[in-house]
Amino acid sequence: EADIYQIPRYLVIGTGKKITLECSQTMGHDKMYWYQQDPGMELHLIHYSYGVNSTEKGDLSSESTVSRIRTEHFPLTLESARPSHTSQYLCASSDTGANVLTFGAGSRLTVL
């Protein structure tokens, strides 16, 4: 039973389009994260948030942006998609104790 939801699961778009990947969690977690997973399966943190109106860049530089206006919602936006943005994007959340991350099912983005 998923407590963290990502929409869409799969998206194929053309170069230059603006896209938003949605992530919502129903657990009331303060902390949320976006990881990018490359074809070799490695995971890289690209954004995280400690709470409402708090966002930080992760360890891997990304052209995407995020916002955190509500506790349960942490969307990721690409203003102008390029083929190099083709990847799987995984959203996760954790409670204040930050002991365990709960992941969504992922959004697989393909930019042609």
List residues near another protein by CB under 8 A.
6, 31, 33, 40-43, 45, 48, 50, 58-59, 90, 92, 94, 98-106
Q: How far is the CB of 67 from another protein (least distance, A)?
A: 19
Our CB check for another protein shows the closer of 41 and 69 to be 41
* Residue among 60, 70, 56 at smallest CA distance from 26: 70
Output 17 or 106, the one with its CB closest to another protein: 106
The amino acid that residue 95 corresponds to is: D
Q: Which residues contact 61 (CB under 8 A, 6 or more apart)?
A: 46
Q: Which of 50, 45, 46, 20 is nearest to 32 (CA)?
A: 50
The torsion angles phi and psi of 108, rounded to 5 degrees, stand at -95, 115
Nearer to another protein, 19 or 92 (CB): 92
CB of 89 to another protein, least distance (A): 10
For residue 45, the minimal CB distance to another protein (Å) is 6
Distance from C-alpha of 16 to C-alpha of 94, rounded to nearest angstrom = 33
Least distance (Å) between residue 40 CB and another protein: 7
